[in-house]
């Protein structure tokens, strides 16, 4: 915990994710988020706790459909219900934004004071969804670290997730694969 806190001011982004294994207790979460806020570092959370309020102060929560239903009480089955679920959580929890990952339904980003962004899923042959959420959070963190805006980071993460689900098992997305999928449209600094 002390080493993690010492590293926060040197970071460009921080990801909090422990797969509900108990590494991130409430005190550690609060301390890391507070240190990051003080240093102006974005905190992106893959929330595995039952209460989203545990991550108050974070920049972005990235719940999946099941986690979002648990946090909001709303089943996000389409764009409108995903937006409603995000807004319900934003009313109760002090985070800047929520990105609900909806599998084949794509992603919905809700930022405070901004219209929602619904990003349709990349249509590929899905082979294995293992690691898709990890790909999303890692891609967003990397994009934010080089100065991309959150909506652009989300769009890039959607493309990356669309690639990773075409591979068997836990897989990675290579920069060349991302460049090819993007058609060289995005900033070369991202990939």
Residues 44, 109 within the same domain: yes
Residue 80 and residue 30 share a domain = yes
Do 69 and 116 lie in a common domain?
yes
Examine the fold and report which residue of 121, 144, 164 is the final residue of a domain before the chain moves on.
Answer: 121
Tens of pLDDT, residues 115-166 = 999 999 876 677 767 778 899 999 999 999 999 999 999 999 999 998 888 8
Reply yes or no on whether 134 is catalytic.
Answer: yes
Residue finishing a domain among 121, 145, 174: 121
Number of structural domains (the chain) is 2
**Which domain range does residue 150 map to?**
122-191
* Residue 1: per-residue pLDDT: 75
| pLDDT tens readout for residues 30-46 | 999 999 999 999 999 99
In the predicted structure, residue 184 carries a pLDDT above the cut 70: no
25 and 79, same domain (yes or no):
yes
- Read off the tokens for 56: 């108050």
Within this chain, do residues 155 and 76 fall inside the same structural domain, yes or no?
Answer: no
Q: Which of 88, 121, 154 is the last residue of a domain?
A: 121
Q: What is the pLDDT of residue 128?
A: 67
Phi, psi of 88 (to 5 degrees): -60, -40
Q: Are 15 and 65 part of one and the same domain? A: yes
- Give the predicted TM-score (pTM) of the model: 0.89
Residue 39 and residue 105 in one domain: yes
Instruction: Name the catalytic one among 51, 78, 134, 152.
Output: 134
Say if residue 126 is in the same domain as residue 184. yes
Buried b (16+ CB within 10 A) or exposed e, 102-136: beebbbbbbbeeeebbbbebbeeeeeeeebbbbbb
Q: Comparing C-alpha atoms, which of 95, 93, 18 is closest to residue 51?
A: 93
Q: Are residues 73 and 151 in the same domain?
A: no
The residue among 93 and 181 whose pLDDT is bigger is 93
In the DSSP assignment, the letter for residue 45 is E
Sign of the four-CA dihedral 180, 184, 190, 191: positive
């Amino acid at each position: 915990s002390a080493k993690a806190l010492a590293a926060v001011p040197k970071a460009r982004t921080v990801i909090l994710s422990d797969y509900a294994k108990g590494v991130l207790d409430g005190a550690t979460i609060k301390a890391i988020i507070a240190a990051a806020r003080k240093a102006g570092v974005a905190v992106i959370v893959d929330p595995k706790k039952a209460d989203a309020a545990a991550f108050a102060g974070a920049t972005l929560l990235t719940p999946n459909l099941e986690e979002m239903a648990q946090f909001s009480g709303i089943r996000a089955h389409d764009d409108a219900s995903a937006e409603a679920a995000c807004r319900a959580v934003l009313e109760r929890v002090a985070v800047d934004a929520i990105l609900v990952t909806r599998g084949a339904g794509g992603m919905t980003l809700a930022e405070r004071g901004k219209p929602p962004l619904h990003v349709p899923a990349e249509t590929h042959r899905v082979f294995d969804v293992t690691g898709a959420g990890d790909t999303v959070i890692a891609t967003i963190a990397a994009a934010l670290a080089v100065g991309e805006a959150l909506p652009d980071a989300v769009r890039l993460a959607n493309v990356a997730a669309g690639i990773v689900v075409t591979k068997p098992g836990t897989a990675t997305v290579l920069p060349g694969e991302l460049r090819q999928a993007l058609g060289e449209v995005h900033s070369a600094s991202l990939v």
